[in-house]
Amino acid sequence: MSQSSNYKPRVSVTKQLPKEVEERMVKLFDTTLRHTSSSMTQDELKSAIANCEVFVPTVTDIINSDIISAASDKLRLIANFGAGTDHIDINFAHQRGIIVTNTPGVLTEDTADLTMALILAVPRRLVEGDRRARSGKFEGWTPTFMLGHRIKGKRLGIIGMGRIGQAVARRAKAFGLEVHYHNRSRLPAGIEDKLDATYWPTLDPMLPSIDIVVITCPSTPETYHLINKKRLKLLSPTSYIVNTSRGEVIDEKALAIALSNGELSGAGLDVYEDEPQIHPDLIKLQNVILSPHIGSATYESRQEMGEKVMINIRAMVDGHAYPDRVLPLSE
């Protein structure tokens, strides 16, 4: 049901957002902002959700049934500032009659850019070289100094061929990589042909032939530790792993052991199993590039995420269909 044109729903935001987004939200809605990027405690989350009609968490806020239970009957929408929703108990929200929305699509190109940057940087030892140059250990060019690997002609294996996976495939093709992929379902023939991509219906047979594994699949119970000790041993010692999806898809302890033992050549990680904590054994390794979950961290992406949040809130006010509704698993 649509509301009057003067109606401004009460909105509660859990973290500081870009200035332009905050200014628009305050203008459009009765918005309570939070002027810090630190995470709320469980008690603070319960207080923030208690009396609002729209709750705007981010992907690092754990919105479980306990938090949702603290909301009043006025809460109608959880408008997540982010694409991933594995931190929200969507089924419980649905039982309470609360809609959950997210911000898909606008993160695709930026996350694919960072993924491609890691695909280039890890085999060419870019960050390691930067550290060496800054430390004063660069003594001049020699034929055997800082040798890495060419990526042209190498086999790229993408795990998860959704929006981001396909965007990575387009970039990889331009760099001369041979694209292979594993996905729950095969892409339409037209898309597959355009990407020159080879489909593998099961993961294990694909891995031994892959030079660079890229993980772009969502976090689900089925993908938890999808890349485990057993699958790491299927990879060649000259192979690399890049993960820009969710940290829990990789068994980080097993990955650190494989990298330390020379069973893999290197890794590029933007996400971690226990963020913001990073496995200490990974931090010690020189053949790993660690970036602090910046896959979508561009001015453009954050602005567009804010726009999507506001569009979904506006849909609630106007009684329209939610453009980015996330359905519960049971539906």
Catalytic residue annotation: 246, 275, 293
Residue type at position 58: T
Nearest to 247 by CA among 270, 272, 277: 272
Burial of 176 (0-12, 13-18, 19+ CB in 10 A): exposed
In whole angstroms, how far apart are CA 58 and each of 34, 44, 78, 206, 330? Answer: 12, 14, 10, 35, 23
3-state SS class at 168: helix
Nearest residue to 319 via CA among 102, 103, 104, 99: 99
- Token couple for 310: 């506001």
Do 68 and 83 contact (CB within 8 A), yes or no?
A: no
Q: Specify the residue for token string 């990407």.
A: 195
Q: Which of helix, strand or coil describes residue 13?
A: strand
Q: Report the candidate in 281, 302, 299 with the shortest Cα–Cα distance to residue 290.
A: 281
Query: How is residue 96 written in tokens?
Result: 């309470």
293: amino acid identity, one letter: H
Helix (H, G, I), strand (E, B) or coil at 325: strand
Phi, psi torsion values for 288, nearest 5 degrees = -130, 130
Say if residues 243 and 216 touch (Cβ distance below 8 Å): no
CB of 283 closer than 8 Å to CB of 256:
no
d(CA 24, CA 208): 51
Contact 119, 268 (CB under 8 A): yes
Task: Give the H or E element holding residue 237.
Answer: none
